[in-house]
Amino acid sequence: MPERYRSIIDVHVILERGEEILLLERQGTGYCDGMLHLPSGHLDEGEPVTEGAVREAREEIGVRIDPADLRLATVVHHRQRPDLARVGMFFTTVRWEGEPYNAEPHKCGRLLWCDPAVLPPNTIAYPAAGINAYLTGTPLTLHGW
């Protein structure tokens, strides 16, 4: 009998400030360095998705978010390569404590507030697909399949 399918679960946080959202410029990671991404990361074993999103925001941009303030915006089933897929849970929030700052300078070059409808051209395609789905109210997007 074949093994059950297992996938990496990613959590992404869309911080909304007026008409802008926050993006991070990756650096020194070996994955898409110089490109823009949302505050995000992998879900830890046994961790609820909302707690993972809260943890990643705290680790990457130093803000505290109440899990009750997160709203699920969309889910992206992303095929990174033929042998690797991941499920991205994209959450939005307009409420958090603290001013976002670069809490991981060894992984991030800078923070950038931008218009989600006009993303910079160096935005990574996977989070860009999630941001577009959030803007259009699309609950599920297949990306890279």
Helix (H) or strand (E) holding 16: strand 8-17
For residue 5, the model assigns a pLDDT of 82
User: Is the whole-model pTM more than 0.85?
Assistant: yes
Q: Are 85 and 77 in contact (CB under 8 A)?
A: yes
Domains of the chain, with CATH numbers? Answer: 8-143 (3.90.79.10)
The helix (run of H) or strand (run of E) holding residue 40 is strand 40-42
pLDDT of residue 44: 95
pLDDT of residue 7: 87
Q: Output the tens digit of pLDDT for each of the chain's 145 residues.
A: 888 888 899 999 999 999 999 999 999 999 999 999 999 999 999 999 999 999 999 999 999 999 999 999 999 999 999 889 999 999 999 999 999 999 999 999 999 999 999 999 999 999 999 999 999 999 999 999 9
Read off the tokens for 94.
Answer: 């307009």
